[in-house]
Amino acid sequence: MRHLLPGTTASRGMALGRARLVQPSRYLVDTRPLGEDEVDSEIEKLHRALDTARLELRELRGKLHGALAREVSEFIDAHTLLLDDPELLRGLDDLVRIGHYRPGAALKKQRDRLAAIFEAMDDPYLRSRKEDIDQVINRVISALQRQTSVEERKIAARVGEILIADSIAPADMAHLAGNGLLGVVASSGSPYSHSAILARSLDLPMLVGVRDALSTIHDDDLILLDSERGEAVVHPTAQDLSRYRAWQREAAQEGRRLATLANAPTRTRDGVDIRLYANAEMAPDIASARARGADGVGLYRTEFLFLRHKGLPSEDEQFIAYRDLVLGMGGLPVTIRTLDLGADKADAAGLAIRGEENPALGVRGVRLSLRYPAVFTTQIRAILRAACYGPVRVLVPMVTQPDELIAVRTLFKLARQELKRENVDLPEKLSLGAMIEVPAAAINVRELLEHADFLAIGTNDLAQYVLAADRGNDALENIYNPLQPALLRLISHVLTAGRRARKPVSLCGEIGGDVNFTAMLLALGLCEFSMHPGQLLLVRDRIASLDFHMLRKHAPKLIRARSHEEVAEMLGKIMLASQAVCSESISVNAPVL
Ligand code: PEP
Ligand code: MG
C-alpha cells in the first residue's frame, strides 16, 4: 500500500529504486565489569579493533579514484584523525584500565560523552559533527564484534538501490556512489552533516530526519525518493511514476541549460553586471567554484582549518592551505576571513575563554583574535605570504567598532615589517574588509567605512543579532526570517553607505545563494553575491530573468513594510511584474558601486 514518509531535504533530486536497509548499530554491549586479570587482554582487543578501523579507512581511500577520491579524502581524513585523537584513545584506555569497562561499553561511553559536547554547540554545522563520532565509533564497535567489519562488505553489495539507514558515513557514501547508489533516506542526521555536503556534491538525492524509515520500509520495497518535495514514497503508484518521469525529462533539460551558463556573464535582463563569488571551506569547493564560473572566492572560512587540526595549525600549514586556495583560483580574487571562533568552538583549538555563559555574545571572531595576538599574528603572516601568489583580500569577522579594524591593521603592519626583515616576499597592498554581522557595525557603517576597504554582509549572524533569535534554533523559524523589514533596512543602509563611499559591499550569508531572495537583494541594490558554489548557476540564471532598475524602484516600499509576511507578498508581485517587463533600451555596463 502506498504511503508517504516526510523528511528534510539534504540534497535535492529524485530517485526510484529498491530499498536496502542498514539497521543502526544498537550498541549491544556487555556492561558487566572486567576482572583485574582481563584488563590487559581487553585493552589489546580494543587496540586491534582500532587498528582494523584505521585499515578499513586506508583501504577505502585506496579504492576511490579521480575526482571522487579528492572529494572524499577530507572526510576520510577527519575520521582517521578522530581514530588517532589522543584524548579519545586515552579516555578509552582509562575506562578499561581504571573503570574496568569492557571495550564495547567504553566505546559507547566515550561516544555519549563526545556526542553531548557536539550537541551543545551553537553552530548547526559543528553540531552535526556528532554524526562523525557516531560513524567512527560504530566502525570500531563493528570491528570489535567481528574482528573485521563485515558490515562494509554487506553495504558494498547494496548498489543500484536506495539506502535506508540511520545515518551513513561519508566514506561509505562515496564508495557506494562510485558503484551506482541512487539515493539515501536517513532516519536521523542534518542537512549540515558531512554526508549531506558530500551527497550534494555527488548530486545524490538524500533525505534526512525520516523518522519512521527503518520501521516502516522493508528490504526490496519500491521507493520513490523525492527530495524535491522532501518525502519518500513507499510503493509509488502509476501517477507517482509519471511525475518521476516528468521530473527526469525536466532535470535533463535544465541540466543542459544550466551547464551552458557556466561560462556566461552574470547580467540582469536590463544589462547590469553582477558579481558572483563562492563561499569556500574545503578543497572541492574551489574546483566547483571554478567549474561554475565564479568571479572569485567571497568568503574563505579559515576556522575549518583550525577545527580539523589537532591543536593550532602552524604558520607553514596555514600558508600552504591559503597558497593552494589562491593558486586554485587561478588569478581570481580570494577573500580570506580571519579566524571566526567563539568560546563554543575555540575549545578545539585550545583558545576558549572559560566560563562564558553566552558564547554567541562573547569573545568571538575578531574579539578572540585580538585576545591572542600571537596566534593571530601567525595567521596574518601566513596570509601575507600566500598573498604573493595571487590577489587576496582579508575579511575580519564580528567587527563591532572601528578600533578593532585599526588594531588588525596595526598587526598586519607589524607582521609585514617582521617578514621584510626576514627577506620574505610580500604583496604590495592587501585590502582589509569588515564583515557586517553586528547590528552596531551596520548602524554605524559610515564610521567603519573610514577604516575598511570593503564590506561583506554576513546575514546569517546579522539576522540572529538583529532579531535576538539563535540561528540554529528551529523553534524560532517565524522570527528568524530573512524577510524581516528590520533586516532589510539594515542591509539597504549598509549598501547605500558603501555606494556613497565608493567601496565594494558583498553579501555572503545563506540568503545570497537562495534564489528565493535574489530579487529582494537586487532590489536593495546588492551587486556582489557570495554563496555555496553549488548555487552559482541557479542564481546566475535567476539574475538573468530579473530587471535590476525596475526592482530598485521598489526598495523604499520593501524596507517600509510592516512584517515579513508583507514583504513576501510584495516580492511575489514585484517579481512577476519585473519578469513581465521588456528590458528595451536600458543598458548599464557596470554595477553602480
Ligand atoms: C554570516 O554570518 O552570514 C556568515 C557568512 O558567516 P558564518 O555563517 O560563517 O558565521
Ligand atoms: Mg557569521
Q: Domain locations in the chain?
A: 3-248, 260-584
Cα–Cα distance between 434 and 494 in angstroms, integer? 12
Q: Which residue has the least CA distance to atom 6 on ligand 1?
A: 458
Q: Which of 435, 554, 445 is nearest to 493 (CA)?
A: 445
Distance between CA atoms of residues 154 and 439, nearest Å? 53
As a whole number of angstroms, the distance between CA 405 and CA 366 comes to 9
Which of 422-439 are b and which e, b meaning 16 or more Cβ less than 10 Å from the residue's Cβ? eeeebbeebbbbbbbbbb
Q: Which of 460, 470, 514 to mutate to test the pocket of ligand 1 (most atoms within 8 A of CB)?
A: 460
Secondary structure of residue 509 in the 3-state scheme: coil
What are the pLDDT tens digits along the chain (593 aa)?
899 999 999 888 999 988 988 865 444 566 778 888 889 888 988 888 888 888 878 877 766 655 556 556 777 777 888 888 888 888 899 999 988 998 888 888 888 888 778 777 777 666 767 777 877 887 888 777 664 344 444 444 444 589 999 888 776 777 777 666 889 999 987 776 667 767 876 778 999 999 889 999 988 888 999 999 999 999 999 999 899 999 988 888 887 888 888 889 999 999 999 999 999 977 778 888 998 899 999 999 998 788 767 678 999 999 999 999 999 998 999 999 999 986 556 666 677 767 778 888 999 999 999 999 999 999 999 999 999 999 999 999 999 999 999 999 999 999 999 999 999 999 988 999 999 999 999 999 999 999 999 999 999 899 999 999 887 676 777 888 999 999 999 999 999 999 999 999 999 998 999 898 999 999 999 999 999 898 899 999 999 999 999 999 999 999 999 999 999 999 988 877 765 653 333 333 322 22
Decide whether any atom of ligand 1 lies within 6 Å of the 472 Cβ: no
pTM: 0.65
The active-site residue out of 508, 527, 532, 564 is: 508
Q: How many residues make up the chain in this entry?
A: 593
Sign of CA dihedral 352, 356, 357, 362: negative
CA distances to 48, 233, 297, 314 from 327, in Å: 42, 45, 12, 20
- What is the whole-number distance in angstroms between the Cα of residue 311 and the centre of ligand 2? 23
How far, in whole angstroms, is CA 80 from its chain's centroid? 21
Closest approach atom of ligand 1 to CA 458? 3
Active-site annotation holds for 508? yes
pLDDT confidence of residue 158: 46
Q: How far apart are CA 277 and CA 179, in angstroms?
A: 33
- E strands, 352-459, in order: 392-396, 431-436, 454-457
Distance from the CA of 459 to the center of ligand 1, in angstroms?
A: 7
Contact between 111 and 134 under an 8 Å Cβ cutoff? The reply is yes
Residue found by looking up cell 534564489 in the block: 515
Of the residues 194, 532, 554, 564, which is catalytic?
194
Q: Which residues contact 203 (CB under 8 A, 6 or more apart)?
A: 11, 13
Q: Which of the listed residues 127, 192, 301, 302 should we mutate to test ligand 1's pocket, taking the one with most ligand atoms within 8 A of CB?
A: 301
pLDDT for the residue numbered 586: 31
Q: Which helix (H) or strand (E) holds 255?
A: helix 238-259
CB 588 within 8 A of CB 503: no
Largest CA distance in the chain: 89
Residues 493 and 479: their CA atoms lie apart, in Å, by 21
Question: Active-site residue 527, yes or no?
Answer: no
Cβ of residue 56 lying under 6 Å from some atom of ligand 1: no
- The DSSP annotation for 81-135 comes to HHHT-HHHHHHHHHHHHTT---HHHHHHHHHHHHHHHHHT-SSHHHHTTHHHHHH
| pLDDT at res. 63 | 63
Q: Which residue's CA is minimally distant from atom 3 of ligand 1?
A: 458
| Alpha carbons 78 and 74: distance in angstroms, whole number | 6
**Which residue owns the Cα nearest ligand 1 atom 4?**
458
Domain 3-248: top CATH class: mainly alpha
Element (H, E) at 277: strand 275-280
Q: Cell digits for 533?
A: 558554489
d(CA 442, CA 418): 34
d(CA 402, CA 180) in angstroms, rounded, equals 54
DSSP 3-state of 527: coil
- Determine whether the shortest distance from the Cβ of 460 to ligand 1 is under 6 A: yes
Tell me how far apart the alpha carbons of residues 340 and 92 are, in angstroms, rounded to a whole number.
Answer: 31
Nearest to 523 by CA among 511, 510, 537: 511
Q: Write the CATH number of the domain with boundaries 260-584.
A: 3.20.20.60
Distance CA 107, CA 545 (A): 55
Residues near 62 by beta carbon (within 8 Å), at least 6 away in sequence:
none
Residue showing cell 583580500 = 393
